[in-house]
Amino acid sequence: MLATYRTDRSYDWNYRHGPSFAGRVPAVPATPAKTFLGLPVRARIGIAAGLLLNSRWVELYARLGFDILTYKTVRAAARRSHPLPNWVFLERARGRLPRGARAAVRTAPRRGADVAVLSSTVSFGMPSKPPAAWMRDVARARRALGKGQVLNVSVVASPAPGDPPARMIDEFARLAGLACEAGAQVVEANLSCPNVCSAEGDIYHDAALSGRIARAMKRAAGATPVLLKIGYLPARRGLGRLLESVAGGADGVVMVNGIAVRIQRPDGAAAFGRGRASAGVLGRMVHAPSVAQVRSAVELVRERRLPLAVIGVGGVATPEDAGDFFAAGAQAVMLGSAPMYDPFLAIRIKRSHPQW
């Protein structure tokens, strides 16, 4: 199967030369019109923040039938990527994610053949171009979309150690304003990067701070919907507190980001090297916990009548996986890693389930 992202090449190489796709794009099945956060879409199936490094990537995946396109997280100042490796496949571990303080997963020597059961892990450190560059490129990405397609731009603040929360909140708000000015139809704050070892990685654990960020972004974004990307939060009480706090500011929550676990090579050494011992696991291993969290979030939103959309991400590699999230009550389903090695997935999903 084709892979659009070259894992043997750097992030910069993939940014400049990707996506690696030489094939013909098959016809995308026509599907009935729907809405996503009030915007018209042909399907509530999209690409999560990650694979769409720039407008060329957005354009390819829009042509491949994904209708909610998330531009990979950008910052208020340029940031370099971590060095290689950045994206590594994992041993199957019976498809289950090991948990606990000492849990670790082993890398696989090569990608397995059956794309429906793959798990992988990424460690990029959320690189970014400077705002002037990404804003020009976001405008290009927007122009590349067709009718019934929506551009979501993911942003993150870059707090220095010891910075007061107010500075970070202002930065999220400023980024929301810049993303909207550039052409974003939805803006998403990444409150949950499992691969950065600094404060921006686990903001979602702080319900009050997340709420303040959501409200500040909403003020800056005006009529443009605001989403928050959150990570693994299996305790219902903590999830409820977070949802209560962000409702009214954010229009929706996207969950679950990659789940952080220690990543080791088969010889036991840290796969990404020093200072990058753990990283977010993606794919098959995180599907069941992601669906369970979406189900809890949807129940909480309904019980407490919160004005929030819940959007599912995590381990979708087949139409049935997407169905798990819709059955759990998700309003849209986003795919992170599988479209890299299975770019025709949206076409298959639209063929089998035009109603999504």
Ligand X SMILES: Cc1cc2nc3c(=O)[nH]c(=O)nc-3n(C[C@H](O)[C@H](O)[C@H](O)COP(=O)(O)O)c2cc1C
Q: How far apart are CB 286 and ligand X at their closest, in Å?
A: 5
- Among residues 37, 48, 44, which one has the least CA distance to residue 307? 37
122 touches ligand X (CB under 6 A): yes
Sign of CA dihedral 144, 124, 197, 137: negative
187 touches ligand X (CB under 6 A): no
4 touches ligand X (CB under 6 A): no
129 touches ligand X (CB under 6 A): no
Q: How far apart are CB 119 and ligand X at their closest, in Å?
A: 8
Nearer to ligand X, 190 or 224 (CB): 190
Strand residues in 291-330 grouped as ranges (E): 309-313
Q: How far apart are CB 164 and ligand X at their closest, in Å?
A: 24
Question: Looking at residue 79, what DSSP letter applies?
Answer: B
Question: Looking at residue 128, what DSSP letter applies?
Answer: B
Strand residues in the chain grouped as ranges (E): 34-36, 39-41, 45-47, 68-74, 87-89, 104-106, 119-122, 150-155, 186-190, 226-229, 252-255, 259-264, 278-283, 309-313, 332-335
Q: How far apart are CB 73 and ligand X at their closest, in Å?
A: 4
φ, ψ at 250 (rounded to 5°) = -75, 150
231 touches ligand X (CB under 6 A): no
- Among residues 147, 108, 88, which one has the least CA distance to residue 281? 88
Region binding ligand X by CB under 6 A among candidate stretches 77-85, 88-96, 241-249, 332-340: 332-340
51 touches ligand X (CB under 6 A): yes
Site string for ligand X, 286-325 (x = CB under 6 A): x--------------------------xxxx---------
Identify the H or E element spanning 246. Answer: helix 236-246
Residues near ligand X (CB under 6 A) are 48-51, 72-73, 87, 122, 124, 126, 154, 190, 229, 257-258, 282-283, 286, 313-316, 335-338
